[in-house]
Amino acid sequence: MSYVKGLKCRECGRTYPKTPQFVCEWCFGPLEVVYDYEEIKKNFTRKALENRAPNM
């Protein structure tokens, strides 16, 4: 999975590089995964066009 950009704290918005960590060091808020949406779009749009019309 190379689509993961890093992690982002839901509470303070601080971002982290890809790391096996689930809690923010600063506020102990939950970290959520940030995906590289540009990269996902690039790869999936082509496939979606081949199979079906993208519904976005």
Binding residues for Zn ion, rule: CB under 5 A, are: 9, 11-12, 14, 24, 26-27, 29
Of the pair 5, 14, the CB lying nearest Zn ion is at: 14
CB of 21 to Zn ion, least distance (A): 11
Q: Nearest-5° angle of CA 12, CA 17, CA 18?
A: 115
Of the pair 15, 45, the CB lying nearest Zn ion is at: 15
* Torsion from C-alpha of 13, 24, 34, 14, nearest 10 degrees: 30
Of the pair 26, 37, the CB lying nearest Zn ion is at: 26
